[in-house]
Amino acid sequence: MMDKTIKINLGGTLFHIDEEAYKILRRYLQDIDNRLKNTPGGAETIEDIESRIAEIFQSQSGTAGVISSENVEAMISIIGKPEDFDTDSVSGSTIENKAYYHSEGGKKMYRNPDDSIISGVCGGIGIYLNIDSVWIRLMFILFTFFGGIGFLVYVALWIALPSATSDSRKREMYGRDDYATVFRKHGTGYSQTASSQGNIVPGNGVSNIGNAFNEVFRAVGKVCFIIVRIFLIATGVIFVLTGFFILVSFVMVFFFKYPDYFSTHSLGVNLFYLPDFLNYIVSPAIAPWILVLTFIVILLPLLAIIYWGVKMIFWFKARDGIFSLIGLVIWVMCIAALSILLFNEGISFSETAKLVSEEVVGKAPKDLYILSKNKITGLKYDKEITFDEENYNVFFSNDNNGLFISTSLIIDKSDDNTLMINVRKRSAGRSRSDGARKAESLVYHYKVSGDTLFLDEYFSVPQGNKWSADNVTVNLYIPYGTVIHFDKTTENMFRRQHYYNDEWNWRWDGEDKEMIRSDSADNNWVMTEEGLRRQYDKAEK
Amino acid sequence: MDLENTKAQMRKGILEYCILSVLSKNSCYASDIIKELKEAKVIVVEGTLYPLLTRQKNSGLLSYRWEESQQGPPRKYYELTTEGKEYLADLDISWEELVESVNLIRTR
């Protein structure tokens, strides 16, 4: 019967072929493919055979130019069955035939694509144990109610068992003798395999109840499959979106300098332009390398996530194993290179050196006025990085490649009647002396003039020096009884310091009040035995 | 032992030699080779030949050129390379030796 013709392209020629013949041909080509694709030059051989098939079809010139099943079978008898090709002197059909005749059973467990509801696991086990697959399915469902054991075992088998897609595997699946009976039952000629679309259950026939069960299972299987697909698509979408957004953020950091439209503060993230930032902390020669390597290290996993997502959504199969492997190797190599570079750079932070300079100013005045001269607000900087917890702010100025960092101020009681200023500079370096050299180069100014102390709000790292965890702490030792008048200009220096119950505290004690108020009236403190205490105007008067 | 199997093994052993011998006369299209081999009853089905041709070509014994045909797609015409000719000469010698050995054993 010929109800429908299909157009196919074979070896560059177009043929019309009827549906039944097409099924046989497709099956035949698939078998050839399975047989030859893993042999050296297999693809080329398959091509040669296909163009030969085209030639045979042309010479046959079937009824009204349509290839019929008879034409296909005639062609197969000329070319021969793939089992009869001697592809290799070792695994040729004659060797297999020998095994076929002499080995005892020798079954292997496969997933059976011809008796499959979800993946063919049950069908395969059924053939292996020579039991109707319906009972295997019932067992799996039963055991799924025991803490999901059935389900887990099923998934494990799905992963572990290969599918019996090729003829040789089918032969192994059925065991040699069964395979012979199964296929002999269907007669000779190539149509035997082509007609094996339905169930092939060796030995016993399937009962009616079994058939009904199988229908139910098939429906359940379809539903399960659809649920799994929906889940995979949802996961895939999440993967793609996540990967994409992270990628966009990183591209921003890497390639766009201070995106204005991308308000960093509104995001609560301090995004900065990494290339510039790197120049401040690593030697300029390796900064581009670190940049490129970091980018690859970030990019590859993101691409992988996006690709997996797309794959989950569209459910396609691709020969991507080799690309994944190459990607993984490149990724690991980049990480290794980056680690070496960063470790090498990290060594330059290995030793911290402290440089203390102490100046005894002399007898302290009764009233000490503290003013801040060089204020950050007066600074021209391009970028700020704030570590709130550490009260550490770094300001980058692109004009002169300058780095300006906030200082910390500590006020203690002096042991005697003298006012003492202690400036501690700290820097990290490759060695202690390297650190000391860097610490020494830090620029910090203060000035005492009469009863007024001028303090800089920040210190600077000299041009050409990298950032190396530099830190300057100014410690004032003030004699007992001295009244300190904090000028409004010093408010930023105490930004993170608070007072509690009129006591000066270095730690935040829960009551968030600013140390130095904008109205300067209340900013008078007096040094007592217990430390600094707030002094109110009326007490002073 | 299975007679058919043994026969098939024997045929297979000489198949490569036969292909090279067919090509030693003139360059051939795959079907011509098949025709000769079929006439000589060395092979039964055509499919056997194609993997062997590819293998011999890949190991440098054969080369091919494309030639237009009056009907259908262009065809591959195979011919022996210099290496293939040397290889065949070696095989010729060992074939003679083989025939001699077998005859010696059989007539003894």
Write phi, then psi, for A535 (nearest 5 degrees): -120, 125
- One domain for residues A263 and A389: no
A64: confidence class by pLDDT, cuts 50, 70, 90 = low
Same domain, A122 and A170: yes
A170: pLDDT strictly greater than 80:
no
Confidence of residue A400 (pLDDT cuts 50, 70, 90): low
State whether A490 and A519 are in the same domain: yes
Domain count of the fold of chain A: 4
Q: Flag whether pLDDT at A433 surpasses 90.
A: no
- Angle, in degrees to the nearest 10, between helices A69-79 and A42-60: 130
Least confident of A24-38, A88-102, A214-228, A400-414: A88-102
Check residue A61 and give its pLDDT: 66
Higher pLDDT, A302 or A96: A302
- To the nearest whole Å, the CA of B90 is away from the closest chain A CA by 20
Facing B50 at nearest CB: one of A45, A59, A94: A45
Range of the domain at A342: 233-348
- What's the pLDDT score for residue A329? 93
Q: What is the C-alpha separation between B23 and A119, in angstroms, rounded? A: 49
Mean pLDDT (whole number) for B51-75: 82
Higher pLDDT, B75 or A206: B75
% of chain A beyond a pLDDT of 70: 72
Residue A112's pLDDT band, with cuts at 50, 70 and 90, is confident
Report pLDDT for A256: 63
Of A206, A225, A249, the last residue of a domain is A206
Predicted local confidence at residue B96, as pLDDT: 92
Predicted confidence at residue A398, as pLDDT, reads 67
pLDDT at A333 over 90: yes
Strands, E assignment, A173-271 = none
In this prediction, residue A201 has a pLDDT band, given cuts at 50, 70 and 90, of very low
Q: Is residue A524 domain-shared with residue A398, that is, in the same domain?
A: yes
**Same-domain pairing of A309 and A373:** no
Q: Which segment of A151-160, A316-325, A371-380, A429-438 scores lowest on mean pLDDT?
A: A371-380
In a domain, A541, yes or no: no
How close B96 gets to chain A, by Cα (Å)? 23
Residues A387 and A427 in one domain: yes
pLDDT at A387: 67
Confidence of residue A446 (pLDDT cuts 50, 70, 90): confident
In a domain, A226, yes or no: no
A439 and A411 fall within a common domain: yes
pLDDT at site A162: 82
Amino acid letter, A297: V
Q: How far is B35 from chain A (nearest CA, A)?
A: 11
The overall pTM is greater than 0.90: no
Q: Does the residue A106 lie in any domain?
A: yes
Q: Is residue A216 part of a domain?
A: no
Q: Residue B19 in contact with residue B52, Cβ under 8 Å? A: yes
**Cβ–Cβ of A84/B73 closer than 8 Å?**
no
Verify whether the Cβ–Cβ distance A36 to B8 is below 8 Å: no
Alpha-carbon gap, residue A291 to A251, rounded angstroms: 12
Q: Reply yes or no on whether the pLDDT at B71 is more than 70.
A: no
Q: State the smallest CA–CA distance between residue B36 and chain A in angstroms.
A: 14
Q: Give the residue, A379 or A367, on which the prediction is more confident.
A: A367
pLDDT range class, residue A335, cuts 50, 70, 90: very high
| Residue/partner pairs of A190-198 with CB below 8 Å, 24 or more apart | A190/A24, A190/A27, A190/A28, A190/A72, A190/A73, A190/A76, A190/A81, A191/A24, A191/A69, A191/A73, A193/A27, A193/A31, A193/A167, A194/A23, A194/A24, A194/A27, A194/A28, A196/A114, A197/A23, A197/A114, A198/A114
| Residue A213 placed within a domain | no
Amino acid A196: pLDDT:
36
Please check whether residue A170 lies inside any domain of the structure: yes
B45 and chain A: CB distance < 8 Å anywhere?
yes
Share above pLDDT 90 across residues of chain A, in percent, rounded to a whole number: 2
Token code pair at residue A118: 């979800």
pLDDT for A261 equals 45
Q: Which of A101-110, A206-215, A310-319 has the highest mean pLDDT?
A: A310-319
Cβ-defined contact of B51 to A41 (cutoff 8 Å): yes
Cα A196 from Cα A411, distance rounded (Å) = 92
Same domain, A275 and A375: no
pLDDT band at A272 (very low <50, low <70, confident <90, very high): low
Same domain, A103 and A195: yes
Which range, of A57-66, A297-306, A504-513, averages the lowest pLDDT?
A: A504-513
Residue A117 inside a domain? The answer is: yes
Region A344-352: mean pLDDT is 78
CA dist B56 and B79 (Å) reads 11
Res. A310: pLDDT tops 90: no
pLDDT at A331 (0 to 100): 92
Is the dihedral angle over the CA atoms A156, A158, A159, A164 positive or is it negative?
A: positive
Residue of A39, A58, A80 lying closest to B71 (CB–CB): A58
* Residue where a domain terminates, one of A348, A383, A412: A348
A40 touches chain B (CB under 8 A): yes
Do both A316 and A386 map to the same domain?
no
Instruction: State the greatest distance between any 2 C-alpha atoms of chain B, in Å, as a whole number.
Output: 55
The predicted-structure confidence for A83-102, as pLDDT tens digits, reads as follows 777 654 433 333 333 333 33
Provide the mean pLDDT of chain A: 73
pLDDT value, residue A412: 80
Q: Which of A190, A206, A222 is the endpoint of a domain?
A: A206
pLDDT at residue A158 is higher than 90: no
Higher pLDDT, A304 or A379: A304
Residues A456 and A529 occupy one common structural domain: yes
Q: Residue A342 phi/psi, 5° resolution?
A: -70, -35
DSSP state of A163: B
The residue ranking higher by pLDDT, B8 or A400, is: B8
Note the helical H segments in A165-207: 167-174, 176-185, 191-194
**Any B CB within 8 A of A60 CB:** no
Mean pLDDT of the residues in chain B:
85
**A417 shares its domain with A483:** yes
Query: Is residue A90 in a domain?
Result: no
How high is the pLDDT of residue A523?
67
Tokens 């011998």 correspond to B21
pLDDT of A247 > 90? The answer is: no
The predicted-structure confidence for A447-481, as pLDDT tens digits, reads as follows 888 888 888 888 888 877 778 888 888 888 888 88
